[in-house]
Structure 1
Amino acid sequence: MTARIYQPTKTAMSSGMAKTREWVLEFTADTPKRIEPLMGWTSSHDTQAQVSLRFPTKEEALDYAEAHGIDVIVTLPKKRRANVRTGGYGENFATSRRGAWTH
């Protein structure tokens, strides 16, 4: 049984960083998915692939995996650099703005 430990990234549809601070332990699928002949849906007999556990720290996730005999693959997050503008949002409405207000 193999699992993956990672820290999720923010979704592309939001600018917030909610649910990105925790670490996630997800089991990898042991058997390939197959197509149901009646409805055409994708299915699997591996129910462990549906399990997703959340931990506050990476160390707690590793301790859990070690205590339960789970082989893990740890994926470290790539931190993004801060996008800080000097004027901030108020710069859009400044009277000393050089360019035309286009929005």
Structure 2
Amino acid sequence: MAARIYQRPKNAMQSGRARTDEWVLEFEQSEARRPDPLMGWTGSGDTQAQVQLTFPTKEEAQAYARKYDIVARVHATPPKSLKLQAYADNFR
């Protein structure tokens, strides 16, 4: 089983930062998706791809992966950059 560990990004649709301090362990797909012949919906028989586990710290997520022999890659959190802008800049 392969998985990836990452910190949840800020929701682009809202200004709040709720749940951005959580770390997520998400399993990668083990088989390709295919269209259903009757309805045309895309799906697969891989149920692990639907699982997302959340942890308070990166170390706890890595410890969980080691405990259950999950090969996990840690994706670093990109640095947060703040773009300071005034309303008057729209009229320059």
Q: Pick the TM interval, shorter chain.
A: 0.7 to 0.9
Q: TM-score, normalised to structure 2's length?
A: 0.88
**Aligned residues: CA RMSD:** 1.8
> 1:57-68 counterparts in 2 under 5 A?
57-68=57-68
Aligned positions, number: 89
Matched, 1:30 2:30: yes
Q: Secondary structure at the match of 2:13?
A: coil
What is the CA distance between 1:82 and its match in structure 2? 3.5
Structure 2 gap ranges (5+): none
Q: TM-score, normalised to structure 1's length?
A: 0.79
Mark the structure with the bigger radius of gyration: 1
Alignment correspondent of 2:14? 14
Q: Secondary structure at the match of 1:10?
A: coil
Cα distance in 1 for partners of 2:46, 2:54 equals 20
User: Percent identity over the alignment?
Assistant: 51
Runs of 4 or more consecutive aligned structure 1 residues displaced over 3 Å after TM superposition: 82-85
Cα distance in 2 for partners of 1:45, 1:31 equals 8
Cα distance in 2 for partners of 1:73, 1:5 equals 6
User: Over residues 24-64 of structure 1, what are the superposed CA-to-partner deviations in whole Å (9 max), with x where a residue is unaligned?
Assistant: 00000000000000000011100000000000000000000
Of structures 1 and 2, the one with the larger relative CO (CA 8 A, separation 6+) is 2
Cα distance in 2 for partners of 1:19, 1:42 equals 29
Cα distance in 2 for partners of 1:61, 1:43 equals 27
